[in-house]
Structure 1
Amino acid sequence: MVRAKKSAMGVLGILAAALAALMLMHGCGGGGDGGSASTAASTGTLKLSITDKQSDSFDKVIISIREIRVVPAGRENAPDNDPGLPVIARFTPSRVIDVMQLQFVQEALGEAVLPAGAYSQIRLVLDPAPANYLTLKADPVTQIPLTTPSGQQSGVKVLGPVEVRAGVINAVMIDFDPNTAIVARGNGDYNLKPTGIRVVHLSDPLTQFGSISGNVMSTFMPWSSATVSVKRRGSTNDNDPIAAGLIFSNYTGGAWQAPFAAFVPPNTLPVTYKAFITTNGFQVYSSSAVSVVTGQATDLGTIPLIPLP
């Protein structure tokens, strides 16, 4: 009995060793399956692009991008060269973009595989002056320097949030609104204001799209930020938005207000879209059902925020 037991234990030991070796092979680069599954479970792909809203004032708006980084939540004060800030793209020579050419066109900026989780900023590290400039429709020849405070050191900080979900492509579009991103200083100079550059989350990368736009306003009480989301309604009813983003208010014209644009693919009836706006201290706004056409903006007009009772 003892000899038989030892023999059985020996067989079990050999099987255990073989199983361990097999698991080790699958966990290493040679097997690939185990490592790929583990990586997919902890990383996602961030795909970044940029688009633009038109302006009656500007003929060209030129920005020269050296590098694009994302900032993990909690590391907002980290310098641009911090290795903990993942690089989305690095351009040599710099990427020169006339954002005024991007109405209803998305230009790819880059993509990267990142640790899944929350990111608070996208940083656009720009070249120094005079690489960034604008021209006016009233004078399309004269190049006016576009001042970009900290754009060359810590980068233009486009506020998120940006969520990278594991195992999928996370499509994010930068909406450059020249009407709010560019501010006249009164002496003939112009500043680039990061809060006029917004991050829009998309459910999928878009090849053709239109937009739902509007201007959120409160004259009764201040508000600092609001979340705009768009969901499909009709034969398809979304729980998660097909597009979403954060907007920031400015006090102007006797009101706290902010314009927005949400980019979505054209709809086919009976599917329509509804826009929702949520912000602290105010009732949730829900638009009527609207349609969207490729290359056109569906304008909801002025949207007054109603304080909670």
Structure 2
Amino acid sequence: MRKSYGSACRWGIRAATWMSALVLAGCGGGGGSGGVAGDGTLRVAMTDAPSCYEHVFVTVEKVRVHTSAGAGDNDAGWRDLTLAAPRRVDLLGLTNGVLEELGSTALPAGDYSQVRLVLAENSVQQPLANAVQPIGGTLTPLRTPSAQQSGLKLQVHFSVEAGKQADLVLDFDACKSVVAAGNSGSFVLKPVVSVTPRFVTSIQGFVTTTMTLTATSVSAQKDGAIVRSTVPDASGKFVLSFLPEDTYTLVITSDGRAAGVVSGVPVSLAASVTSVNSAAAPIVLPTSPMGTVTGTVTANANPLGDATVRALQVVGADTVQVAATPVDVELATYTLRLPTAAPVRAPFSATGLSFAAQAAAAGKYTLSASTPDRLALTRALDLGSAPASTVNFAY
């Protein structure tokens, strides 16, 4: 099963040609998409992180934008991007660098600090407006939070200049956003999306097709946090797009394989594309037994259904995230499968990658549990000595 983790305060949707159906309206309605003197343009697109499901469907009604991060639902100043009709889309076609254009619209020039995304509710007429299909399972309605009535709040900071275009990319994390709800067989939608400028940059490369590609994840990380993640395509190619200029740690994970790390991968606007390897020399991860860790996250013995558990590993000089999962929303239980063999590491080199096993890290992890309003709790884990372990977290 693929797992991915994204930064906090993320919420989103995917669309194919939505914004051709969007019109710009001021608070209370009215207005058209044509600009006036002093207007700039906001262009929005969508991409997706790896998912743990076969399909995730959402139905989008509108996108709201405000200059104030603290603006309430009924405050003046909202600019609404309203779809002509609610649009139901599958979120899982946007991995590996694929970008869906949501379109563009005029906005008054200025600084903006809040975006809200509003989904339609499941109804008698459309019981599967928002739905998930687990791997090997059937399409199941998603329970959606009440916050979707007004749109879940995203803190973002972007500027629209008169006569110029501002670009945003919404990176949806379907795996973290759809959470099991106890033993009921139902799922809850807790939407998670990052909002970033559209940088014309990418890290590209290839993994071997002898690995199970559908269970393989590639991520660009900073200090153990994922900035962008994807899955390789059928040829083993992966593309991590829209990255800010910086130096990243590339992390490759796959079920039944040790983790692979490429350190010091540079990304710059000048170079645009950073290629880590070619199809002729794909990255091959060593095979590995998989250990399992299970547990719960509680506060005063009560389940914390909004918690996330991450597995971090020190690989050479890099701390990387190998896996992560949201807990069950009702039971606050979690399960992670982690490799017990030594991870491999290579410094980035334009002339080729040379991986070496990091024996000291074999089976050793730091588990981190956190919620949006609590500091992280950490626990050491050695799957080499106990390949089936239980680690509980209690606040």
Name the TM tier (shorter chain).
0.5 to 0.7
Partner in structure 2 of residue 117 of structure 1: 110
1:230 aligned to 2:244? yes
Question: Between Structure 1 and Structure 2, which shows a larger proportion of helix residues?
Answer: 1
Partner in structure 2 of residue 100 of structure 1: 92
Aligned length, in residue pairs? 208
Match of 2:77, SS state, is coil
Match of 1:167, SS state, is coil
Match of 1:180, SS state, is helix
Partner in structure 2 of residue 214 of structure 1: 220
- Change over 3 Å in CA distance of 1:101–1:217 after alignment to 2: same
> Which of 41, 45, 55 lines up with 1:45 in the alignment?
41
Partner in structure 2 of residue 28 of structure 1: none
- Seq. identity, %: 29
> Which of 175, 178, 190 lines up with 1:182 in the alignment?
178
Which residue type is aligned with residue 90 of structure 2? Answer: D
Q: Hey, what's the Cα distance between the residues in 2 that align with 1:152 and 1:237?
A: 37
Which residue type is aligned with residue 192 of structure 1? Answer: L
> Which of 131, 134, 137 lines up with 2:135 in the alignment?
137
1:164 aligned to 2:160? yes
Q: 2:61–2:87: 8 Å Cα contact kept in structure 1? A: yes
Which residue type is aligned with residue 135 of structure 1? Answer: Q
Match of 2:182, SS state, is coil
1:83 CA drift (Å): 5.1
Q: 1:63–1:133: 8 Å Cα contact kept in structure 2? A: yes
| Matching of residues 282-293 of structure 1 within 5 Å | none
- Change over 3 Å in CA distance of 1:148–1:110 after alignment to 2: farther
Q: Hey, what's the Cα distance between the residues in 2 that align with 1:156 and 1:289?
A: 42
Q: Hey, what's the Cα distance between the residues in 1 that align with 2:40 and 2:120?
A: 29
Q: 2:46–2:172: 8 Å Cα contact kept in structure 1? A: yes
Q: Hey, what's the Cα distance between the residues in 2 that align with 1:87 and 1:201?
A: 20
With the length of structure 1 as denominator, give the TM-score of the two structures.
Answer: 0.53
| Residues 121-169 of structure 1: CA deviation (Å, up to 9, x unaligned) | 3222111113111111121xx2222222135411133332333233311
Q: 1:145–1:189: 8 Å Cα contact kept in structure 2? A: yes
**Cα RMSD for the two superposed structures:** 4.6
Which ranges in structure 1 are unaligned for 5 or more consecutive residues?
1-37, 243-249, 260-286, 292-301, 303-309
Q: Hey, what's the Cα distance between the residues in 1 that align with 2:221 and 2:160?
A: 28
Which ranges in structure 2 are unaligned for 5 or more consecutive residues?
1-35, 206-217, 229-241, 248-266, 274-306, 313-319, 323-346, 352-364, 366-395
Partner in structure 1 of residue 309 of structure 2: 252
Q: Hey, what's the Cα distance between the residues in 1 that align with 2:246 and 2:222?
A: 21
Partner in structure 2 of residue 22 of structure 1: none
Match of 1:100, SS state, is helix
Q: Hey, what's the Cα distance between the residues in 2 that align with 1:290 and 1:118?
A: 40
| Residues 228-284 of structure 1: CA deviation (Å, up to 9, x unaligned) | 962289xx9659x99xxxxxxx652477x989xxxxxxxxxxxxxxxxxxxxxxxxx
Partner in structure 1 of residue 53 of structure 2: 58
Q: 2:199–2:243: 8 Å Cα contact kept in structure 1? A: no
Match of 1:230, SS state, is coil
Q: Hey, what's the Cα distance between the residues in 2 that align with 1:156 and 1:290?
A: 43
Partner in structure 1 of residue 26 of structure 2: none
1:147 aligned to 2:143? yes
1:62 CA drift (Å): 0.5
Match of 1:179, SS state, is helix
With the length of structure 2 as denominator, give the TM-score of the two structures.
Answer: 0.43
| Residues 187-221 of structure 1: CA deviation (Å, up to 9, x unaligned) | 43322224x211121146x9x99698335566xxx
Q: Hey, what's the Cα distance between the residues in 2 that align with 1:190 and 1:159?
A: 26
1:288 CA drift (Å): 5.9
Q: 1:150–1:156: 8 Å Cα contact kept in structure 2? A: no
Q: 2:311–2:321: 8 Å Cα contact kept in structure 1? A: no
- Change over 3 Å in CA distance of 1:216–1:70 after alignment to 2: same
Q: Hey, what's the Cα distance between the residues in 2 that align with 1:106 and 1:147?
A: 27
Q: Hey, what's the Cα distance between the residues in 1 that align with 2:94 and 2:227?
A: 25
Partner in structure 2 of residue 21 of structure 1: none
Which residue type is aligned with residue 189 of structure 1? Answer: S
> Which of 75, 78, 90 lines up with 1:85 in the alignment?
78
| Residues 77-125 of structure 1: CA deviation (Å, up to 9, x unaligned) | 233xx5511123x223211110101223222223221123332232221
Which residue type is aligned with residue 41 of structure 2? Answer: T
1:70 aligned to 2:65? yes
Asked which structure has the greater CA Rg, the reply is 1
Q: 1:159–1:198: 8 Å Cα contact kept in structure 2? A: no
Q: 1:76–1:120: 8 Å Cα contact kept in structure 2? A: no
Q: 1:44–1:115: 8 Å Cα contact kept in structure 2? A: yes
